[in-house]
Amino acid sequence: ITTLSTIRHLAFLKETLTPNRFEHSLGVSQVMSELARVYAIERERAVTAGLLHDAAKDLTLLEQAQIISRANIEIRYECELNYSLYLHGPASAYVVQHELEITDEVILDAIEMHTYNGNKVTFDDPIS
């Protein structure tokens, strides 16, 4: 899917991600396109979530800490102090919501939950 918003998303990711992470995000977007039917999600939503899921992953630890503070993301376990590994999902959701003005809760929840954070049930079970 190539839309003006997708072009904007790609430009944003090229500025914020390493080349390897950018390629990874393109690959995840393709896989999500194929999984959209399994999870009964509109293809465009799935592709967008896959593309943007790591939007904050390559930010510095200081930048991630600032986002975690601004977003009021709760640090519940000591391991979550490794923001890049454990909290980049919710941090990425915050970034795409505020930098790219994405408000679709399905997309934001998918991005947030890909590193398991919280108890949202949006994506618990694929449709049989």
pLDDT, one tens digit for every residue, the chain (128 residues): 457 788 999 999 999 999 999 999 999 999 999 999 998 889 999 999 999 999 999 999 999 999 999 999 988 888 888 888 889 999 999 999 999 999 999 999 999 988 865 555 555 444 43
Structure tokens at 39: 């999870």
Instruction: Tell me the whole-structure pTM to 2 decimals.
Output: 0.85
Q: What is the pLDDT of residue 79?
A: 84
**pLDDT for 82:** 84
CB within 8 Å of 94: residues ≥ 6 apart: 56, 67, 70, 71, 73
Residue 49 CB coordination number (10 Å): 29
pLDDT at 117: 58
| 3-state secondary structure string across 8-76 | HHHHHHHHHCCHHHHHHHHHHHHHHHHHCCCCCCCHHHHHHHHHHCCCCCCCCHHHHHHHHHHCCCCCC
